[in-house]
Amino acid sequence: MKINVKILRYDPEKDRKAHWEVYPVEAQAGDRVLDVLNHVKWYVDPKLTFRRSCAHGICGSDAMLINGRNRLACKTLLQDVVKPGGTITVEPIRGLRVEKDLLVDMEPFFDAYRAVMPYFVNDEAPPTTERIQSPEAAERMDHGSNCILCACCTTSCPIYWVNGSYLGPAAIVQAHRFIFDTRDRAAEARMQILNQNTGVWRCRTAYNCTEACPRDIPITQLIEEVKRAVMYTQ
């Protein structure tokens, strides 16, 4: 089928602001948006700039706004977003500085991630065997472990768009993963971080984050669990 791909282009070396470019492409309904972007880059304009790596929904590097919604280009089938003869729009995710075309500066996102201590802390003497967890306790951390740090959630949050100092849903999901890890001992320190004015209380349960997550993580529910934990430790 023939489709048009409308991409928001921006080259900091020559553009004062971003502008749309439309590329007619011959594609199959089962192709992914990433295939179409690769086609444009490989055969039409090699300057088109975007991130991608695994192409299988694992690395989290190709989050973009497709038809106005945050998605991974490698997980989005054309048949789900465009009809034959139709047009799809592709823009960079919002709330982060655009470096070129669909490529944004992810550093503020990873700064927020690092700020919540997303690593195991336990200074006790290690046991002689594994640190045992019940299946129920392990299940509690499953959601956070599934996160691929794609930023679809944080960059769909209206609070984050207005105030980039908000740590954002992805960082809170990571904090949740360690706060509720029965083997970890730094939950209180993380909750102090999340109790600051850049933390969980910024969330107004807009739900955009949950709807945007390509891993179906119930983000808003996890944020509410963290809010309750923070409230009861004060």
Per CB under 6 A, residues contacting ligand FES are 52-55, 57-62, 72, 74
220 binds, among ligand SF4, ligand F3S, ligand FES, none (CB under 5 to 8 A by kind): ligand F3S
207 binds, among ligand FES, ligand F3S, ligand SF4, none (CB under 5 to 8 A by kind): ligand F3S
115 binds, among ligand F3S, ligand SF4, ligand FES, none (CB under 5 to 8 A by kind): none
Stretch of 17-25, 58-66, 181-189, 199-207 lying at the interface with ligand F3S (CB under 6 A): 199-207
Interaction between residue 192 and ligand F3S (CB under 6 A): no
How many Å apart are CA 63 and CA 73, to the nearest integer?
A: 6
Task: Answer positive or negative: Cα dihedral of 213, 218, 221, 222.
Answer: negative
**In a 3-state reduction of DSSP, which class is residue 142?**
helix
Interaction between residue 197 and ligand F3S (CB under 6 A): no
Comparison of 116 and 151: residue with beta carbon closer to ligand SF4: 151
Token representation of residue 213: 């997550």
**In a 3-state reduction of DSSP, which class is residue 58?**
coil
213 binds, among ligand SF4, ligand F3S, ligand FES, none (CB under 5 to 8 A by kind): ligand SF4
- Contact in structure between 183 and 120 (CB atoms under 8 Å): yes
Closest by Cα among 13, 7, 17, 19 to 64 = 7
- Contact in structure between 169 and 155 (CB atoms under 8 Å): no
- Residue from 65, 73, 209, 229 touching ligand F3S (CB under 6 A): that is 209
How many Å apart are CA 19 and CA 187, to the nearest integer?
A: 46
**In a 3-state reduction of DSSP, which class is residue 228?**
helix
Shortest spacing between CB 159 and ligand F3S, in angstroms = 5
Contact set with ligand F3S (CB under 6 A): 157, 159, 169, 203-209, 220, 223
